[in-house]
Chain A
Amino acid sequence: MSNILEAQHVVKKYAGHTALNDVSIEVPQGSIFGLLGPNGAGKTSLIRIINQITAPDEGQIILAGEKLQPKHIEDIGYLPEERGLYKKMKVGEQLLYLAQLKGMNKAEALEKLKKWFIKFNIKDWWDKNVEDLSKGMQQKTQFIATIVHEPKLIILDEPFSGFDPINANLLKDEILELKERGTTIIFSTHRMESVEELCDHIALINKSQVVLHGAKKEVKNRFKDNSYTVEFTGNLTNTEGVFELLDTYPLEDGITKAHIRNINELPVNQLIGNLIQQVELKAFNENIPSFNDIFIKVVGGEANALL
């Protein structure tokens, strides 16, 4: 899979602080890429550089194999975290304007917009002023503005913030549909459940640096600690040399739940073999770390180390 976007050793300094320190990421074509990190880590600075709102002090951005240049503005759709529209402008007129600023001609923009208005069932909004729309309606309008020019790369900064569950679902479906059609989506968020659900690649930025980068599976594997959750009846006593019993708690009906660690990295079959000799096994699961765990471990760990 080729990369649609590469950031290579990007450095951005503002008076007094470094916003991005040697940041390199690779975003595969057609993926949903999660750009994660706590507030103030440098996500927005990187997004602004990709959008050519600001320029990097060092390093470069490669988009679809070319060095980033003004013509690429039309290949990117951007939904900023702070949403905004011209309040006194009519919805249709405004979307037409924004689409044309992304390089579409008027007829083409009109045709595409009509499709979206039908799809979202909002035909009667065309002549409404933006200020008369509800917040949810404004967000739909802004989402259309982000994607109407059919960009190769869509950057969504905290896309779900402020959406009600129905609109959030609608948005999720749209994101998946865009991915089907081959669009790459960069997702900046600190809401891990949406990362879990949608992303296939991630980069975690903390304190201006990339601290974690790769495919979702691969990153998770890196954080696997060879531990398992088991449920059984009976007594689990002989653990020596095979696994370490981390903790146990009783469930209903004499069932015990326990966490164990496969200290010698035995094949899973062997591990299960050892278990069923001692207890009657009810459930057996490998512990795969959630992004929430990973995030806290990486970001919080550093915070702890600093303390």
Chain B
Amino acid sequence: MSKHRAITMNKILLIIQREYLTRVRKKSFWIASIVVPFLIAGVYAIPLYFILNSNDTKTVEIVDESGMFKNRIKSDKDIVYQFINQPFAQAKKGLLKSDADILVNIPKDIISDPNGVKMVGKKSIGMGTQMDIQGAIQSELRNIKLEKANIDLKVLEDNKVSVNAETYTLQEDGKEQSSNSIGAMILAGVFGMILYISALLYGSQVMNGVIEEKSNRIIEVMISSVRPFQLMMGKIIGVGLVGITQFLLWGILTFTASTATTKLMSGKIEEKVQTMQKTGKSQEEITKFKKDFKEKNPLSGISQTVENISLAKLIFCFLMFYIGGYMIYSSLFAAIGSAVENASEAQQFMFPVTIPIILSFVLGQVIIQEPDSQLAFWASMFPLTSPIDMMVRLPFGVPNWQIALSLTLLILGFLGTTWLAGKVYRVGILMYGKKPSWKEISKWVFYKG
């Protein structure tokens, strides 16, 4: 008997191996594995790139007909303001030959008609630059108006108080830990997205594999060699491992690509800082630039969150919830595949299975906002929604007992669904020629041998 059990195990391994290799050998697998990380790295690099490159200084000439703004509007690192004593019409003609990029006309009656400002650019004027110039004029206009009303600017300045709260989570040991909620949100979103896509993607791969075997008619040869349940589980595990391989590749490549980008960027930052120092920028400005850069770098927030929760726990939970969720859904998809003869017939049966997947994803978006709500708790416990929704909650911190309970329920859930799916599968794969109904399928569960 034990010899036979060894052979049985060996057969499941053979099936897993075939299912795995036939998929991993496909070109599409490698394209997806390589393209996705570069997309992620790209999404991450683009905002940084713009921070670095939006800094080419613009020169703005101002024709101040009101005569009130000279020496009030100050140049900054982005824009250098020059006041010129020319009529606007003449300055406009001279713009193409001058060094300036933009010409601004402040009319005489600016106080009574603030909308009379005109801007002419050599090239089209970017939204950011336009806002900056408008802002500069606007705030000075406000100051002028306040002065005219005899309000002391100094007093006003003193009354500007800024409150900058840092958020902390209280740890079990009483320590405070800074929680980076942006990082957690990004991480939660990424987890939710990956689990959502993988449940649909790999689930339907299992389904199509079953349909292929059935419509190829190889199924009868197969189940004269192995038990239907072994074949189903072999396929589910094989495809699941394809998923894990893909995550691994994504992880490694994303990490490599992001690290490379960061390296590249930090080199550029150094350059930038050096030029800032040379051009005599104040230390304050440089620090602000560095801080700005750090804040806009999504990776720093994420790594903060990962540090808080511990990487090992995150990876453990991700794997467990991925495996659990994948097993539940792929076994249901396998059952559907066994009941139909082609992919188009499968559509109507897929709908009820995809609903909980979509629902958990939608709930996930609510949970990101309120990760400790009642809804979040129950969604992260119910086995059909917990794989996605617990992972969405996790970056915000979840007590261990909740994770343990959720995992227990998940294991019970997938034992239940694989048992149910196995019953349907075993009958379904041998049924040809008639389109089954839900009623018919539910009867198969109770068929003997």
Closest to B15 in A: A101
Residues in B with CB closer than 8 Å to A54 are: 430, 449
Instruction: Tell me what chain A mostly uses at the interface: helix, strand, loop, or mixed.
Output: loop
Query: Does A100 reach chain B (CB closer than 8 Å)?
Result: yes
Q: Do A15 and B216 have beta carbons less than 8 Å apart?
A: no
Q: Do B430 and A98 have beta carbons less than 8 Å apart?
A: no
Q: Tell me the residues in window 224-248 of chain B with beta carbons closer than 8 Å to chain A beta carbons.
A: 224-227
Q: Do B216 and A85 have beta carbons less than 8 Å apart?
A: yes
Query: Does A70 reach chain B (CB closer than 8 Å)?
Result: yes
Q: Do B220 and A71 have beta carbons less than 8 Å apart?
A: no
Query: Does B194 reach chain A (CB closer than 8 Å)?
Result: no
Residue of B212, B213, B218, B225 touching A73 (CB-CB under 8 A): B225
Q: Tell me the residues in window 49-104 of chain A with beta carbons closer than 8 Å to chain B beta carbons.
A: 51-57, 70-71, 73, 76, 78, 80, 82-89, 97-98, 100-103
Within the complex, the shortest CB–CB distance from A127 to chain B, in Å, comes to 14
Within the complex, the shortest CB–CB distance from B425 to chain A, in Å, comes to 13
In the complex, per-residue mask of B1-42: 1 if CB is within 8 Å of any chain A CB, else 0: 000100110010011001000100000000000000000000
Q: Do B224 and A73 have beta carbons less than 8 Å apart?
A: yes
- What's the interface size class on B, roughly? 20 to 34
Q: Do A70 and B8 have beta carbons less than 8 Å apart?
A: yes
Residues in B with CB closer than 8 Å to A56 are: 449
Within the complex, the shortest CB–CB distance from B267 to chain A, in Å, comes to 47
- What's the interface size class on A, roughly? 20 to 34
Q: What's the Cα separation between A15 and B8 when bound, in Å?
A: 31
Query: Does A145 reach chain B (CB closer than 8 Å)?
Result: yes
Closest to B3 in A: A71
Residues in B with CB closer than 8 Å to A78 are: 220-221, 224
Q: Do A80 and B217 have beta carbons less than 8 Å apart?
A: yes
Closest to B429 in A: A53
Query: Does B137 reach chain A (CB closer than 8 Å)?
Result: no
Closest to B443 in A: A15
Q: Do A87 and B216 have beta carbons less than 8 Å apart?
A: yes
Residues in A with CB closer than 8 Å to B110 are: none
Of listed A55, A88, A142, residue having the most chain B CB within 10 A: A88
Q: What's the Cα separation between A82 and B218 when bound, in Å?
A: 8
Residues in B with CB closer than 8 Å to A51 are: 224
Q: Tell me the residues in window 194-230 of chain B with beta carbons closer than 8 Å to chain A beta carbons.
A: 212-213, 216-227
Of listed B18, B220, B227, residue having the most chain A CB within 10 A: B220
Q: What's the Cα separation between A78 and B221 when bound, in Å?
A: 7
Q: Do A86 and B216 have beta carbons less than 8 Å apart?
A: yes
Q: What's the Cα separation between A170 and B14 when bound, in Å?
A: 32
Q: Do A71 and B216 have beta carbons less than 8 Å apart?
A: no
Residues in B with CB closer than 8 Å to A84 are: 213, 216-221
Q: Do A53 and B11 have beta carbons less than 8 Å apart?
A: no
Q: What's the Cα separation between A57 and B447 when bound, in Å?
A: 11
In the complex, per-residue mask of A95-115: 1 if CB is within 8 Å of any chain B CB, else 0: 001101111000000000000
Q: Tell me the residues in window 193-238 of chain A with beta carbons closer than 8 Å to chain B beta carbons.
A: none
Known: A55-B449, A71-B4, A88-B22. A80 touches B225 (CB 8 A): no
Q: Tell me the residues in window 398-449 of chain B with beta carbons closer than 8 Å to chain A beta carbons.
A: 430, 443, 447-449
Residues in A with CB closer than 8 Å to B217 are: 80, 82-84
Q: Do B7 and A103 have beta carbons less than 8 Å apart?
A: yes
Within the complex, the shortest CB–CB distance from A68 to chain B, in Å, comes to 12
Q: What's the Cα separation between A103 and B5 when bound, in Å?
A: 12
Q: Do A98 and B221 have beta carbons less than 8 Å apart?
A: yes
Q: Tell me the residues in window 141-165 of chain A with beta carbons closer than 8 Å to chain B beta carbons.
A: 142, 145
12 contacts between A and B (CB under 8 A): A15-B443, A51-B224, A56-B449, A78-B220, A78-B221, A84-B217, A84-B218, A101-B14, A101-B226, A102-B225, A103-B7, A142-B221
Q: A53-B430, A78-B220, A86-B22 are in contact. List 4 more A-B contacts (CB 8 A).
A: A51-B224, A53-B223, A86-B213, A101-B225
